[in-house]
Structure 1
Amino acid sequence: MISPTHPERQERLLYTRDQLLEEGLFDLPQIREYRPRLAEINDLQRAHIGVPSIARLITPAHLTSAGGCLVAADAVMSGEVKRAFALVRPPGHHAMRVVHGIRGFCTVNIEAVMVEYLRSVYGIRKIAVVDTDVHHGDGSQDIFYHDPDTLYISFHQDGRTLYPGTGFPDEAGSPAAWGTNINLPLLPGTGDEGLHRLYDGLIQHILDDFEPELIINSAGQDNHFSDPLASMAVTAQGYAKLADKLQADIAVLEGGYSVEAALPYVNTGIILAMADMDYSKVVEPDQSDLRQQDERCNKRVDQLIAETGELWRSRFSTRKELLAKCGNSWSRKKSIYYDEEGIREEQIETAHYCRQCSGYLTIRTAAAGTRFGDQSAFIISLKRDTCSECRQTAYDEAQLEKRNGKWQYVLVQHIADGEIESL
């Protein structure tokens, strides 16, 4: 249950909608309001493998939040609107591919669900996700880490000072996708000046070079100076100007927990910017807590521009070197903590490479303290283009693991249609 004082409560949306009504935005011909629909379980399973199943881990609110993103995607892709902002909750960017419970207020990664939906329904290939939340989107990073066709850019308060403690430049993607995972950790106290210095000096150039078919803004608003869970200094104007520059096709509400002092104004500014309307008058009524940015923040930004710019420019040669070194597979070990439920997960994820296709993933996961007790699973994740030979090899490995009897669950994820097969 969410208490009346929980940061991720329904007032996050209610105060914003009241502001939009008060300003008369819904009366304008440029603004259209849509009702969300419920996402299907298969929509979620294109992005996630739930243990024991995603259906047993979610509530109707998660289907509504993900469904709101799909409505936004349909509205843009059908040409009914030029851009869309999915004002939904609960958020999702801390939810990883494998889900055992809630972490960082997230169970379902609503952006990843939408990305896979866009690919399945509309055939979109190259997508950029720009995460403007103050917390590193470790779940989005996890899901997109092996995908060279998804450019994930996250700027956030340095993980040495804030949850989840990740999001550093060397987390740049697995060998086959090296360079398409861009982390930009900023010093606490970074404000509008540093943010736009970073965008103008680096992010815009990377987006232009990548040439995505669609840009998605994972629109966390807890970089705001009044947010109670972080220590940044961005204003509503800073956010609106960023939205104006980014020109995202779809924005999705993520974090932002200054429910009265920030969210109504930041959201209003973003909506006006996305509608190509004047947002210059959107100002918080109280800026008494706004701190002047320290010059050290700009020095960090300049360092990121130089170092990450070089990482991006050399991504193809680095990718080639890494693939030559790792051969047919690449593994990583992960220790994952679910702060909402006290779950501790140990995971080994292996990417299997193939010259004929994008290969497949194997995941060995063991979690202690879940709502279902201690759990273990061996998981195969088959990509859209996984060839028949790789499929057979993956199934052979899964059957062997099943015969070994080590795992409570042996599961196969079919990303193309969102089916989860239990062996």
Structure 2
Amino acid sequence: MLHAKNRTGLVFFPAFDWAISPTHPEREERLLYTQDQVFEEGLLDIDGIVELKPDLVTIKDIQRVHFCVPDPWKVSTESHFISAGGAKTIGMAVMDGTIDRGFALVRPPGHHANRVVHGARGFCNINIEAIMIEYLRRAYGVDRVAIIDTDCHHGDGTQDIYWHDPDTLFISIHQDGRTLYPGSGFINEFGGPNAAGTTVNIPLPPETCDDGMLYAVKNAVLPILDEFKPQLIINSAGQDNHYSDPITNMNISAQGYAQLTELLKADIAVLEGGYSIEGALPYVNAGIIMAMAGLDYSSLREPDYEPEYLRQPASLTRSIERTCDEVMTMWRRRTELRGPGKKAGQYDTRNRQIFYDTDNIFETQEETVRICDDCGGSLRIDSISNRRRILGVHIPRNACPACREQGLQWYEESSSSRFQHIFLQDRITDRFLEKK
């Protein structure tokens, strides 16, 4: 009988009652083929690989992360609560020591969901990884966390949520945003003034193959992880980098994904994208599971895998090398990135235009953060969509007294004559309030 080197937990949730449309790439068949493959290969018969059942997250779990407009039930469904609950279940099992590593194979996905949520973006309504992480921080006292997003699309929602958090390292490896939705994730996006350098983007050119992806992991991701020293590593395990994916332009194989997983040594993986339902997902997911469990995956192959057609040209290899060199230069200069004139007690403002492609909503945001040497800084978000205007005030979990006072002042001084909803996310007391 085979024995897993690492006790590995799996959660499956195909979400039979949620789909954008019956023929949309993001539908329940994404996971049904994977479940069949896992059963056919006998992975659950291996000693040390166990299946866990997902629970639901609570409204409180969601409101630690999001300002949902007008409330969580209006922007999500029960399936979203269970999908996030599947990630939370895996996180709790890892923290409790029931398993060493875990993989939440769940849908709907979440990494395009920002802190403010007016609707669905990129098939995402709520950010399931962030909800899990903030629950684990509250329940288990986890501090430093690293999120490695390997989805082909830039994880712009997760980046937004942790833009001002110096204790969360967010690294996204993705297809260059000039060629793919959401059109972001460039090297110069490196985090807010209180967390400069803890956002790291590694945009790769279309047609990057296994060698290019693994080069980026070995020469940029792993050195940064070693220096950051996280207590917990999360892999947003999108699988749309696969060579057969219908909506992207990359050439990663199941073997490449398995090697990536082995290198990252993530404590928790959470499924994100991946839309080659028959040709990729069953093989990629099997590879990720085997690598997490410490099993030999060398014989894993897709039926149509022909490596000679997936080699990247030398010019593309040089481009990836230059990108990684630039990323590492930015990382080494991160203490300089706050910029001139940014002093504690002052404020920094960011203005953004956000389009919800799934729900056809336009949002304009003005975000103000208090500059602080001691914490992530309290945050004020004035958000206007073509439906509502809201004010969200976020006081971070490690807020210093001055930043907490500023957050409470923003909330108390706000007027319901200007905003339909006024929210306070006070992470110190774990309260979510709405001014009536």
Alignment-derived partner of residue 59 in structure 1: 77
- Judge conservation of contact 1:131–1:155 (CA < 8 Å) in 2: yes
Alignment-derived partner of residue 413 in structure 1: 425
The within-5 A match list for 1:361-376 is: 361-368=379-386, 374-376=387-389
Instruction: Please state if 1:86 is matched with 2:104.
Output: yes
- The CA deviation at 1:353 is 2.8
The within-5 A match list for 1:114-193 is: 114-193=132-211
- Equivalent residue in structure 2 for 1:307, among 300, 316, 326: 326
Check 1:154–1:328 CA distance in 2 against 1; reply closer, same or farther (3 A cut): same
- The CA deviation at 1:256 is 0.3
What do residues 90-130 of structure 1 show as CA deviations (whole Å, max 9, x unaligned)?
Answer: 00000000000000000010111111111101111111100
Alignment-derived partner of residue 204 in structure 1: 222
- Equivalent residue in structure 2 for 1:292, among 288, 307, 311: 311
Structure 1 runs, 4 residues or longer, greater than 6 Å off = none
Check 1:198–1:358 CA distance in 2 against 1; reply closer, same or farther (3 A cut): closer
- Judge conservation of contact 1:45–1:415 (CA < 8 Å) in 2: no
- Once the two structures are overlaid, the 10-residue window that deviates more, 410-419 or 133-142, is 410-419
Alignment-derived partner of residue 353 in structure 2: 335
- Judge conservation of contact 2:88–2:132 (CA < 8 Å) in 1: yes
What do residues 118-166 of structure 1 show as CA deviations (whole Å, max 9, x unaligned)?
Answer: 1101111111100000000000000010011111010100000000000
Q: Secondary structure in 2 aligned to 1:340?
A: coil
Aligned residues: 416
Check 1:121–1:299 CA distance in 2 against 1; reply closer, same or farther (3 A cut): same
- Judge conservation of contact 1:44–1:418 (CA < 8 Å) in 2: no
What do residues 277-308 of structure 1 show as CA deviations (whole Å, max 9, x unaligned)?
Answer: 01111110113695331223212211112111
Q: Secondary structure in 1 aligned to 2:147?
A: strand
- Judge conservation of contact 1:176–1:323 (CA < 8 Å) in 2: no
- The CA deviation at 1:355 is 5.1
In structure 2, list runs of 5 or more residues that go unmatched: 1-18
Q: Secondary structure in 2 aligned to 1:271?
A: helix
Q: Distance in 1 between matches of 2:103 and 2:409?
A: 44
Q: Secondary structure in 1 aligned to 2:111?
A: coil
Check 1:183–1:291 CA distance in 2 against 1; reply closer, same or farther (3 A cut): same
Q: Secondary structure in 1 aligned to 2:55?
A: coil
In structure 1, list runs of 5 or more residues that go unmatched: 369-373
> Taking structure 2 as the reference length, what is the TM-score of the superposition?
0.92
Q: Distance in 2 between matches of 1:323 and 1:61?
A: 46
- Judge conservation of contact 1:141–1:152 (CA < 8 Å) in 2: yes
Q: Distance in 2 between matches of 1:356 and 1:110?
A: 28
Q: Distance in 1 between matches of 2:68 and 2:428?
A: 17
Q: What RMSD, in angstroms, separates the aligned Cα atoms of the two structures?
A: 1.7
Fraction of identical pairs, as percent: 49
Instruction: Please state if 1:33 is matched with 2:51.
Output: yes
Check 1:322–1:27 CA distance in 2 against 1; reply closer, same or farther (3 A cut): farther
Check 1:130–1:189 CA distance in 2 against 1; reply closer, same or farther (3 A cut): same
Q: Distance in 1 between matches of 2:429 and 2:276?
A: 38
